[in-house]
Structure 1
Amino acid sequence: MRKTAALLLSLAFPLALHLPTRAQAPVHYTVAMPNAVHHEARITVTFREVPAGPLQVRMARSSPGRYALHEFAKNVYDVQATDSKGKALTAEKPDPYGWTVAGHDGTVIFTYTLFGDRTDGTYAGIDSRHAHLNIPATLAYAQGLEQRPAAVQFQLPEGWTVASQLKPEADGTWTAPNLQYLMDSPTSLGPQQVRSWQLQGRTIEMQVLHDGTPAELDAYVASTQKIVQEAAAIFGGLPEYDFGRYTFVANYLPQTSGDGMEHRNSTSLTSNRPLRGPGAIDNLGTVAHEFFHSWNVERLRPQDLEPFDFQRANMSSNLWFAEGFTQYYGELLLRRAGVYTDDEYAKEALSGIVGAMLLSPGASRYSPVYMSQQAPFVDAAAAIDPNNRPNTYLSYYYIGAANALALDLELRSRYKTDLDTYMRTLWQQHGAQQNYAPARPYTLRDLQRVLGQVTKDTAFAGQFFRQHITGHQLPAYEELLAPAGLLVRRARAGQTTLAARLQFNPDSTATLGTTLLGSPLYQAGLDREDVLLLLDGRKLINAKEVQALLAAHKPGDTLPVEYRSRGLVRTGSVTLQEDNALEVVTYEQAKRPVTRAQKKFRAEWLNGKAR
């Protein structure tokens, strides 16, 4: 419908596309940190050439890459407004999210204090060491002026520099062509350590705040370079970054929260893990995932996220592809870049994807499209009422990655093509054309159509989408992985389990989390917040004691249980089950013979593609 409306508009008013427009005065921001030690910034916004009538100044309620409401106005206070002559103006609040400023002379100078003490991809983190600013959480804007360019002046403490995808100008400001680009530009302020390199005529740079050594950063950057090259190989080259530059805006300090957030020409990377040891691999996984997003979701973009609306929750039916396929490729890039071995990739990546898909109650009940539509309720959305998501939901990251894995293997086995080709074809048709925004965002129907083109089998494409994308049929991973010499098996075969989350209490009881559909305690009629008093006549002292009790029994044994439920003490019986946790291993690790054909299939899938 939106395409049709746009077409009719262009036919009815063809000359409107060519009318010259008068340059509008940019919105100018000044960001200062006089009280950074107490997590405050003082921000001034100057709106010039404001149309007559009240100006509606807003803080965003949502943020690109996040789909829930976050109500950033809650951290804004000490608001003041003046006109061009310094006359005080009244800033009234029509609602919780903004201010109405009336009586101006065509200029409104709007000043406020921002509190920010969460360093991640969604909020603002400010302290004496740094400031990591997600722009929707930081900068106010005015309704009706969204198409104006913006210029930001950062007043920096000694030794601090700016890391951002905003365009640096000769006058010291950092600019954006419009509000959408401004809001999509995370910015880090601090004593950045910079590493940059050239690839395919573009500048790739890492601007990093961390407590490690230069040698640790060098090693980390070397791995990142391989990941970047492998990602580019999938799509046949790097995107045309708007200013010829892609920036990893990275904050690896102790006070940061683990997160990664994709943006058009940059990514925000935050973690308190160091750039050495196991933490480095976890951090590189985020690097790979977020860099893949510079194609998938930033330029190869779902139509139902265009344009992003900063005043509401943004729902998409396509996050299983935008985030889930990216989740699959993020892990695959680690293998192709040599960060993982085959055995490590199977254990660290495939086991989690396959296990989540096959064992989650939600995945067998609801489709990836449905899981995508749940994002406004689960994507860092805060709520205090209980829910039943353990039984109804599997993250669109995992359900999407699981279907990407299945599709990749099926394409390789049945059609002599692969998911790389599918992604590259989608990119050529729906991602390559850009002008600060995608020219041809895709629909669900487009994703199915292109799959039919790549396979030359539209019936297969339709069936795959009906069964696995709008439906919820589980893939047959044992069959799909076998040609690569990979085995799906029980990780703890023969061991008994309660399949329950237990919180152990000082009085040797244990409180239950949500009990899973089909689990022993669910079948026995126990529910969340029930308190186990005795199991098999024994108190529940700690996890080690419970494991010892279970080890003394076999699957199918029935044990008496005494528990307290909503104030009433009850008795019952629990039938133990075999632990159904799954793992994926190579045939070599499983001591199975592996054929030359299986080795070839696996190598063509997992080995690096960059030249």
Structure 2
Amino acid sequence: MIQNTVTAFLVALPLAFCAPVAAQAPVAYTVAFPNAVHHEARVRVTFAQLPPGPLQVRMARSSPGRYALHEFAKNVYDVSATDSKGNPLRITRPDPSGWDVAGHDGAVVFRYTLFGDRTDGTYAGIDSRHAQLNMPATLAYARGLEQRPAEVKFDLPTGWQVASQLRPDAATGTWYAPHLQYLMDSPASLGPLQTRTWQEQGRTIEMQMLHEGTDAELDSYVALTKKVVKEAAAVFGELPAYDFGRYTFLANYLPQTSGDGMEHRNSTVVTSNLPLRGAGAERNLGTVAHEFFHSWNVERIRPQDLEPFDFDRADMSSGLWFAEGFTSYYGPLLLRRAGVLTDQQFCERGVNGLVNALLLSPGAARYSPVQMSQQAPFVDAAAAIDPDNRANTYLSYYAIGGANALALDLDLRANHKTTLDAFMRAVWRQYGKAQRNYAPERPYTLPDLQRVLGEVSHDTAFAGRFFRDHIYGHELPKFAQLLAPAGLQLRKAKAGQASLGLNRLQFLPDSSGALLPASSLVGSPLYQAGIDREDVLLKFDGQPLKRATVLQQLLATHKPGDVVPVEVRARDGVRTVPVTLQEAPTLEVVALPSATRQQLAFRKAWLSGKKN
């Protein structure tokens, strides 16, 4: 039976599958949900045609699109193994993420229970209503069999359907992957899915949705998604050649869902508990725009240091400022070009955050985008219980990369008669378009990106300076100058208002004061006064700090430069310290009412839709 399945499988597969290794028996999975109400799945894996010796079965420790360790084996239990005749096999545990199975007869049937109750793009979320499965969190694999094809069958509760980028066989209900890398990059959404499908440039795009809204809300949301798809394709000049001709949005907007977005080669997981109407629809659509842009940038235009992805360690890359950061710039820009946002909304939601993050973050003055990218294993949903000082040492590669993308786009437009769109198209054509065995033929290095920038700008010296100063270095862009040609002004959002800085305060439930929950920011009034994490501000200018409105009212009576006594409870007791107030540092970008015709034309060329 296994050999017949393999033969049928090989006949249907593209020629790229037909390497000698594909002639071996596929790894066969069955996933069932007999106890979904308690967030459990039961998984059976059949490993056949095995060489002699123990079989090393493992759960992944990391997941494509994530860069920290997640130790997925922690949610696996009730493990057992038998040979082809059903005889029990001896299992040993060599490490926390693996099981060694000895004494088999050339086949191992490996069974386990999986617990999963987080619905997002990283983990597994299972309940009586649906299942959202990220494969590294769900499926065990065997060392040495990574190049074998895989087949997955789902034993579904009544009324459930399956959506995945895996290749389906409707006749057998089986989903296929050419090898482990592809399998682990192919999440599945299961449940009573609502489907909307359309054609774009000869490709099938589908939205597979779980939500509680109306059909009209879903149709309106899909109509906006279509516009985003067109604008993203216009940046690169074409859609990718999606495997099996299909791209799938796996959208889960149920109340139990955690907010997330996770890109994959021919699909994306977009999850949120926000509805498909009003502000919820707009926020959800922002995630759609970001993740869809990834089907070029990071899925096919891929950094060399992430190829191939290693499921057994934290994968560090020096290029996340480009892979994630440039994508973060394009997400809101696509919404503006698609008509979802106005110019002012784009400034408020796409520009202000990037500019404030880069110019006001102490970390951005300390580390470069490359160094921020390298810290991803510590911050990308990584779990730790000890306090850190990242408020002063770190700025997300999303923000630092996005802000530099904004600066580069404006610079190219103003000074080099080209655009960031042209740069992205050139990178796509040289390092993303050509694919082999479901991976890029030429994953890029940072010098590759610098060279392409020199070609597009026709100025290799400029490209060298940009990378030296802003990518390998941490020189801050001159945003006021860069925004001016678009008729946009960078200014203080609260000019003349007194402030304690950007430190976040947590007002205590008993109204006894305001806790500083994280490190005070370098250079802020609290930092300068020697007030730090877990200190409690009791009084400001002699007045008890019972709630946030009290502090706001007291600050309004002062001006920047005033020295105010603050009573604080610190680890060494209660004391009163002088605090010198600063001007509120928050910045904003606004459109000049007196913008010239030339400035308006610059802005239109930048922000207007590009689709044909």
The TM tier, using the shorter chain, reads: over 0.9
Secondary structure in structure 2 of the residue aligned to 1:333: helix
Q: Which of 467, 471, 474 is 2:473 aligned to?
A: 471
1:365 alignment counterpart? 366
Consecutive unaligned residues in structure 2, runs of 5 or more: 1-17
Number of residue equivalences: 590
CA distance in 2, matches of 1:284, 1:20: 43
2:5 alignment counterpart? none
2:496 alignment counterpart? 494
1:503 alignment counterpart? 506
For residues 310-365 of structure 1, what are the alpha-carbon distances to aligned partners after superposition, in whole Å with 9 as ceiling and x for unaligned? 00000000000000000001110000000001111111111111111111111111
CA distance in 2, matches of 1:296, 1:58: 30
Does 1:607 pair with 2:611?
Answer: no
2:10 alignment counterpart? none
**Pairwise CA RMSD:** 1.0
Deviation at 1:21, TM superposition (A): 5.2
Secondary structure in structure 1 of the residue aligned to 2:305: helix
Asked if the contact 2:195/2:206 (under 8 Å) is kept, the reply is yes
The residue correspondences of 1:71-220 to structure 2 (distance < 5 A) are: 71-169=71-169, 170-220=171-221
Deviation at 1:534, TM superposition (A): 1.9
Letter in 2 for 1:280: A
Secondary structure in structure 2 of the residue aligned to 1:205: strand
Over 3 Å counting, the alpha-carbon distance change for 1:391 and 1:102 in structure 2 is same
2:281 alignment counterpart? 280
For residues 418-440 of structure 1, what are the alpha-carbon distances to aligned partners after superposition, in whole Å with 9 as ceiling and x for unaligned? 00000000000000001200000
Letter in 1 for 2:115: F
Deviation at 1:587, TM superposition (A): 1.1
2:546 alignment counterpart? 541
CA distance in 2, matches of 1:19, 1:465: 41
2:46 alignment counterpart? 46
Q: TM-score under structure 1 normalisation? A: 0.96
Does 1:319 pair with 2:320?
Answer: yes
The residue correspondences of 1:192-591 to structure 2 (distance < 5 A) are: 192-435=193-436, 436-499=438-501, 500-505=503-508, 506-513=510-517, 514-588=519-593
CA distance in 1, matches of 2:480, 2:570: 41
Letter in 2 for 1:46: T
Deviation at 1:507, TM superposition (A): 4.7
Asked if the contact 2:61/2:311 (under 8 Å) is kept, the reply is yes
CA distance in 1, matches of 2:362, 2:149: 48
1:23 alignment counterpart? 23
For residues 193-249 of structure 1, what are the alpha-carbon distances to aligned partners after superposition, in whole Å with 9 as ceiling and x for unaligned? 000001111100000000000000000000000000000011111000011000001
CA distance in 1, matches of 2:19, 2:478: 57
For residues 96-142 of structure 1, what are the alpha-carbon distances to aligned partners after superposition, in whole Å with 9 as ceiling and x for unaligned? 00100000000000000000000001000000000000000000000
For residues 232-283 of structure 1, what are the alpha-carbon distances to aligned partners after superposition, in whole Å with 9 as ceiling and x for unaligned? 0111110000110000011000000000000000000100000001010000
Deviation at 1:20, TM superposition (A): 5.2
Tell me the percent identity: 72
Asked if the contact 2:22/2:148 (under 8 Å) is kept, the reply is no
CA distance in 1, matches of 2:64, 2:413: 34
CA distance in 1, matches of 2:407, 2:514: 39
CA distance in 2, matches of 1:489, 1:426: 34
CA distance in 2, matches of 1:451, 1:385: 41
CA distance in 1, matches of 2:511, 2:325: 43
Over 3 Å counting, the alpha-carbon distance change for 1:59 and 1:209 in structure 2 is same
CA distance in 1, matches of 2:524, 2:547: 20
CA distance in 1, matches of 2:361, 2:430: 35
Letter in 1 for 2:423: Y
Secondary structure in structure 1 of the residue aligned to 2:406: helix
Over 3 Å counting, the alpha-carbon distance change for 1:574 and 1:153 in structure 2 is same
CA distance in 1, matches of 2:244, 2:331: 25
Deviation at 1:533, TM superposition (A): 2.1
Letter in 1 for 2:538: L
2:9 alignment counterpart? none
CA distance in 2, matches of 1:78, 1:20: 35
CA distance in 2, matches of 1:218, 1:364: 45
4+ residue runs over 3 A deviation? 18-22
CA distance in 2, matches of 1:489, 1:549: 24
